[in-house]
Structure 1
Amino acid sequence: MSHDREFDVIMYGSTGYTGRLVAEYLAQNYTGDVRWAMAGRSAEKLAAVRDEIGAPADTPLIVADADDPESLADMVARAKCIATTVGPYQLYGESLLAACAAGGTDYVDLCGEPAWMRQMIDKYEAPAKESGARIVFSCGFDSIPFDLGVWFVQQAAEEELGGPASRIKGRVRGMQGTFSGGTAASLKATMAAAAKDPKIIQLLMNPFSLTPGFQGADQPLGNKVEFEADLDSWVAPFIMAAINTRNIHRSNFLLGHPYGEDFVYDEMMLTGPGENGEAMANAVAGDNSLGGDDGPKPGEGPSKEEREAGFYDVLFVAEGGDGKRVMAGVTGDKDPGYGSTSKMIAESALCLVRDVTDAPGGIYTPAAVMAAPLIERLEAKAGLTFKREG
């Protein structure tokens, strides 16, 4: 990868709801320290957003459009890393990813679309390896707290249990905030694609859809309301599990299976004990508002007050073969879909260009390419905590 690029990071999609938050974060935290630029389809809109978010008047603005491959090639040639929030990626993402893979430019996104991700791995892993581009999917709430949380608790298991845990439970203990309009749009686009192509349904159903050539142990479905006696709580299905579990198995695969080839992982929401806990679990299981017409639209999102009031708290329980276990918690200080996600993708881009410069090209998960340095950044800058418990 070229190290003499004009910019460290270009934020592509800066006029969208989430992209604007990423640009604002960079302006507030890295002006003068990082060479960064805002990119999008309209120079006029970019200038308006730059002024609204209080970015310096000389913040560079780059006009690029997914429908204009030449503009994308020009943009990626100027940057060490492109951060993109322009989704659904299966509709708008391939041309930019292809340009980065060809141009040796690092790339981070917020993708939670496993079928598209597998298609991109099959098409662009070889060109990315050749050019030195590090392509990293899922650098937001899906899937950083979960992917890095599993990696973190496995480090604890190595120390305390003498080896990796072959079984880990991810359990969401608390969360406040709405899912993004982009997440809802991605879900709808995925369902539309699956209706046309049965192969996509197979990819969506397979926990190992992102590990080409490797099929591991049977995994829990995580689709039922149950009582977990060891945690004294009812559990309900967690909507992000369908993407997070795939990324975690890919991390294990890319790292050479340090968690073991028979590693088992699932994600659920904890809703508490007793009748209230059961009622809450059933309510969570019955909620399909994200896929409905009343869900958030792309470009829409919560107010600043709502973002600031949001949080999340995830427990990871690593079980050893002898009944011993190690636990760790991951928390975030803003709403998951926007406030925290916008900080996570910005720090992921900076981690690639500043902290893991020696990693070779390829298509990665966050944990597979930058686990320890990214955790350090997220704790120092982005309001996340990673802590052992119990």
Structure 2
Amino acid sequence: MTETGPLDLPQDRAEADGEGAAEAIKAAIRVKALELGFEAFGVADLDTPWSAGERLEEFVADGRHGTMAWMETTLERRVHPRAMWGEARSAIVLGLNYGPETDPREGQGRTDRAAISVYAQGDDYHEVIKKRLKALGRWMAEQYCCQLKVFVDTAPLMEKPLAGLAGLGWQGKHTNLVSRTFGSWLFLGAVLTTLDLPPDAPGAETCGSCRACLDACPTDAFPAPFQIDARRCISYLTIEHAGPIPVEFRAAMGNRIYGCDDCLAACPWNKFAATAREGAFHAREALKSPALEDLAALDDAAFRVLFSKSPVKRVGRDRFVRNVLYAVGNSGRPALAEVARARLDDTSPMVRGAAVWALSRLLDKAAFQAAAGARPVEEIDEDVLAEWGRS
């Protein structure tokens, strides 16, 4: 979602009288947030210097954001919360646990099945959190006549460093937030407000010498601890990247067709994390380990039905089936060759190209050459023709 606000409210009535009153307001907001279902709460001092803005500028300057042009166009607003809204005096950061029932990496051994990232197996967290943030914002406005804006992920606000500043945890070597209570499984939302609230102590980084998350990455997407190159990340490649995925990363994708949990799942702090209590975040049975054969056959209408209220719907059918076909090619199961063959005449060139690659992995040389000889003579897409030629 994009940012909301400021809400249509009167100006602040008055600043709280004294430190005790401000603490009481903060405590009341925390109680209300917990009533609304949030499980982590903290307040960040926006006057505290942070290096997140400089790190983001370096990230973009090095081109590590890939094709996510919005990171570049919104860079000036992202470098600090006040760069986006100068009147903000405090940031309330909230978290919801989405811890899985089992280690998500276990599903990677079932090569005829798809591995969908834990966060995307349930309802779209953007919508779940947005409703609760708005409810909290309305309550705060009614109680304290403050101005505020609420944010969930896609707005130009860096929630992870802000969450660290608010004491919810720290950014681990995989660049995601790590919590002593919830491990690496926290959804984040934030409220910027004109209320001057007492801040919490920032979270202390306690990764130590551990590099489990770095070593777990299938594509070596971490050039150094606490740094990521999105262009090598399977989550970026399967969700943000349009067009054919670079050949060098396809085999490493395995059966991961939407996102990748490997670095998160490897974090030792997960041993303290509980399974998500929130029903909306529990995995749907249909998305826990769906068959690649069924997913590859989805047309646009069936895709929309299957992924209704799911974040997966954001990538669209063509990009999704592209990912499925790469997984088909990685399955090591020749019986799935017919699944790929059925997509050779798909309306999407991106899907056709992925089908060619999958066939090249599943058929022997003679069978693939026969398939190449029978390919549609009207094929004119350069990427698809390049797949045939390369394979």
- TM-score, normalised by the number of residues in structure 1: 0.25
By percentage of residues, which structure has more strand? 1
- TM-score, normalised by the number of residues in structure 2: 0.25
